[in-house]
Amino acid sequence: MSEFMAGGRRRVDRVLAPDYVVGLAELPLSDVRARRAEAEQEEVDLSFARRLLQGRIDILRAEQDNRRTDGGMIREPRTDDEIVGALARILADEGPRVDHGMGRYLGNVGPTRVGEHRREAERAVADVGASDLAAMSDDDLGGAIEHLVDIETRVSRTRRGVQGVVDALTEEIARRYTTGEIAVVLPDEVSN
C-alpha cells in the first residue's frame, strides 16, 4: 500500500522524491502552493488508507479479545451475527486509541482514491484469510493481526514522510510572508 518507489509515477512517489522540496525559495509562490496542495491530498489519502487498516485491525483484535478466557471458560469464535453486531462499537473508537495519528487538521479535503484504498485494505484482509473469523484458529488470528499491523506501520511511515514534505512547503510559504516577499491581502484591499 502506497509505499514510496524512487522514479515511480504515482503522487506519493512525486511527493516523496528528494527533489520535491529542493530549491523551494526559487519557485514561484503558485508552484509552492500547488505542491503543498498535492502533498496535503496525499496525506489525506494515506490517512484514509491507514484508518481503513486500523478498522480491520480493531475488528480482529475484538475477535481475539472475545476468544480469551471469560470467567475461566474459553470462548469459541463468535458467529457472523455477533461480529456484525459488535462492528459499530468497534469502529466508534470507544475509549482512547493507542495508535492515533498526529492530530493534524486536514481541512475539508476528502480522500480521492477511496475505492483504491478500500480494495487494497480488502486485499490485505483476504491475504491473511480474515474474512471468515470463525474459521480462523487463534494462531491464524494473531498472524493476521501482525500482518495488518505491519502494513499499517508502513502506511504510517509513508504518511509521516508526506507530513514532513507538507511542513517544509508550509514553512517556505510562511517564510515568504515573514520576510515580506509576499503580503497578506485583506478582502477590503482587493476591492479597492
Separation between Cα atoms, residue 170 and residue 8, nearest integer Å: 24
**What is the average pLDDT value for the chain, to the nearest integer?**
78
Which domain covers residue 148, as residue numbers? 11-191
Pick 86 or 165 by higher pLDDT: 165
Average pLDDT (67-83) is 59
Separation between Cα atoms, residue 43 and residue 12, nearest integer Å: 9
Residue 140: inside a domain? yes
Q: Is the pLDDT of residue 191 over 70?
A: no
Report pLDDT for 149.
93
Give the least confident one: 21-30, 46-55, 106-115, 157-166. 106-115
Report pLDDT for 125.
61
Report pLDDT for 83.
62
Pick 144 or 66 by higher pLDDT: 144
Q: How confident is the model at residue 178 (pLDDT cuts 50, 70, 90)?
A: very high
Q: Count of domains in the chain?
A: 1
CA distances in angstroms from 191 to 114, 187, 188, listed in the order given: 40, 7, 6
Residue 2: inside a domain? no
Q: Is 78 left (phi over 0), alpha (psi -120 to 50) or beta?
A: beta
Separation between Cα atoms, residue 173 and residue 167, nearest integer Å: 10
Residue 126: inside a domain? yes
Report pLDDT for 161.
95
Residue 172: inside a domain? yes
Residue 4: inside a domain? no
Share of the chain above pLDDT 90, in %: 32
Report pLDDT for 14.
94
Residue 1: inside a domain? no
Q: Is the pLDDT of residue 15 over 80?
A: yes
Side chain identity at residue 183, one-letter code: A
Report pLDDT for 93.
52
DSSP 55-113: HHHHHHHHHHHHHS-BTTBPPPPPPHHHHHHHHHHHHTT-S--SS-------TTPPPS-
- Each residue's pLDDT tens digit, 80-94: 666 666 665 555 555
Report pLDDT for 63.
81
Average pLDDT (155-165) is 94
Residue 6: inside a domain? no
Report pLDDT for 55.
86
Separation between Cα atoms, residue 162 and residue 156, nearest integer Å: 10
Residue 5: inside a domain? no
Separation between Cα atoms, residue 137 and residue 29, nearest integer Å: 56
- Each residue's pLDDT tens digit, 26-52: 999 999 999 999 999 999 988 888 888
Q: Is the pLDDT of residue 179 over 70?
A: yes
